[in-house]
Structure formats: C-alpha cells, structure tokens
Amino acid sequence: MKITKAVIPAAGLGTRVLPASKALPKEMLPIVDKPAIQYIVEEAAAAGITDILVITNRGKGVIEDHFDHSLELEAMLERRGDEKTLKILNDVANLANVYYVRQKETKGLGDAVLKAKDFVGDSPFAVLYGDDVIIGEKPAVGELCEAYEKYGKSVVGIKEVPDELIVKYSSLSVKTLDSKTYAVSDMIEKPSIEKKLSNYAILGRCVLDSEIFGILEHTPLGAGGELQLTDAMRELAVKKGMIGVDFSGTRYDMGNKFGILKANIEVGLKHPETAEQLKNYLKELADTL
C-alpha cells in the first residue's frame, strides 16, 4: 500500500536548546539557509508523501507562514525581476499539502502522534520527528515506506549508537534480515545499561499501522511521566512484529546544541554558495586550535 500521509510532531518544549527555542520552535532553527522542518517536508515529498500534518503548539504561526505563499515578498521579488529567489519561495509553498493541529499540553511524543488520529484514518502513515533532519541520496522515510510495502509490517528507522546514547534513546531487540533490514521483536525506552536489548535505537522516522492509535489510547504514561510512542510501538512489535531499517542518510539532531552546529558545518560544506569559503575558513581555524 502506497504511503501518502505523514505526521511531523513539532510541539516539544526544546528545553535543550533554550533560549533559541524560547519564542521559535526548534524545528524552525536554520541549517545554513533553510529551517530544519523544511528539510523534513522535502524528504517526505521526495518519498511521494502528499499530505502532512504538523503537530504544533506555540510558534504555530511561523511554521504556517513558512509553508504558505508570502504575497508581499513575492510581489517585491517579481518587481525586481529576481526569478531565482521567487522560484525558491514558490517551491517551498508547493512542497505538499501541509495541515496543522495543536497539542495543547506537552504530554509526550505518543500524545502528539495521537493528535493525528482523525487526519490519518485507517491507512498506514509515516512519522518524521520534527527535530531529526536526515540528509542523504535517498529520502530516509522512502526507504522505510519501501520496507513497509515489502513486509506489510510497521517499520522503524534505526541506527547503532554507543552506550552513552542508548540510555537516552530506545533500545531494540533485532534479528538481521539483510544488510540494512532487521526484524524487531521488542523495544524499551530510555533503558538503563543493564536493561538495554541491543545498541540499535529508533532514530527519527517510522511508518506505522493506524492500529497504533488504539494502543496509544490505553498506553500508560512512561519514562519522564510522558506518553511514550515507544511504549505503544512495543505492543505493536510484540503482537505483530516490526521491521527496522538502517537508513542510508546522515541524521542531525536539531534538539541539541552540538547537533545544530554539526548540521550547519556539514551542510555548509556541501552548499554551492558556502562550500569553498567554509572549507578555507575551517582549515585556517583548525591550525589555531
């Protein structure tokens, strides 16, 4: 079944990147010249997703404005004959049908996803975490959708992470199916090192059966007193089995300060307008460190 709907949770408080995220959602923080959430919407659109629901709270206005036309700016660019910039702006507004709903209380990622129940209906859908930007040749969520189509089971994007990170993420019980695909039979959110199932963690992307909503509705609050998506996904994995895909792109965590710096440097080193200048600058700087 072709996946055409996606949910982007972007209602977290972003406490790790305050004060940058005080008045602006962290999902709007830039990587060189585009806000993080634009990379995510572009990834979804490249994977054939046409309808996207963004879960917001404060800062909803700026996200809505970003994916809308800006008539004033566009008229000004037209007067100046700046076709190139005009096209860039038009392309952003035409990426996908983007809808918005508010999560009124920040009660966790599971609660945010539950807000998408009516939008999703009965079909499988993708979730792209709003602060996880993944850049690669192929859209990561597209790789997950392909696995869903092949195996007919919910899919999570996974990567192997060191011990110091597994305790902050989720840990999965996996069996290898092929070089990048795994069968997932169990998972635990934020385990202690003694309780980890492996060093494979869910990172930023999943494709879920709509059954997840019924499960979320009866899932008790978990780690941090929040409704954890991982706890509901665990029930689905234990009941029906799940697939893990070690996606090919590079993930940047825009929810922490170092992730933001890394994303800007690595993307800046590839951007045609900054690559040369940044490379020379970094080389000079490195000599002084």
Binding site for ligand UTP (CB under 6 A): 9-16, 55, 103, 106-109, 111-112, 129-131, 255
Residue (86 or 167) nearer to ligand UTP, CB: 167
Q: Which pair of structure tokens corresponds to residue 101?
A: 């709903």
Strands (E), 125-249: 125-128, 132-135, 155-160, 170-178, 181-189, 200-208, 242-245
The CB-nearest residue to ligand UTP is 12
Residue 166's Cα: distance from chain center in Å?
18
Nearer to ligand UTP by Cβ, of 153 and 234: the residue is 234
Q: Which is nearer to ligand UTP, 108 or 153 (CB)?
A: 108
Q: How far is the CB of 87 from ligand UTP (least distance, A)?
A: 29
Asked if residues 223 and 189 have their Cβ atoms less than 8 Å apart, the reply is yes
Instruction: Residue 221: name the closest of 57, 106, 135 by CA.
Output: 106
Q: How far is the CB of 233 from ligand UTP (least distance, A)?
A: 14
Which residue, 58 or 271, has its beta carbon nearer to ligand UTP?
A: 58
Residue 274: CB atoms within 10 Å: 16
Nearer to ligand UTP, 66 or 153 (CB): 66
- CA 114 to each of CA 105, 195, 264: distance values in angstroms, whole numbers, following the listed order: 12, 28, 32
Q: Whole-number minimum distance, CB 13 to ligand UTP, in Å?
A: 4
| Residue 8: CB minimum distance to ligand UTP, A | 8
219: left (phi over 0), alpha (psi -120 to 50) or beta: beta
Whole-number minimum distance, CB 139 to ligand UTP, in Å?
Answer: 18
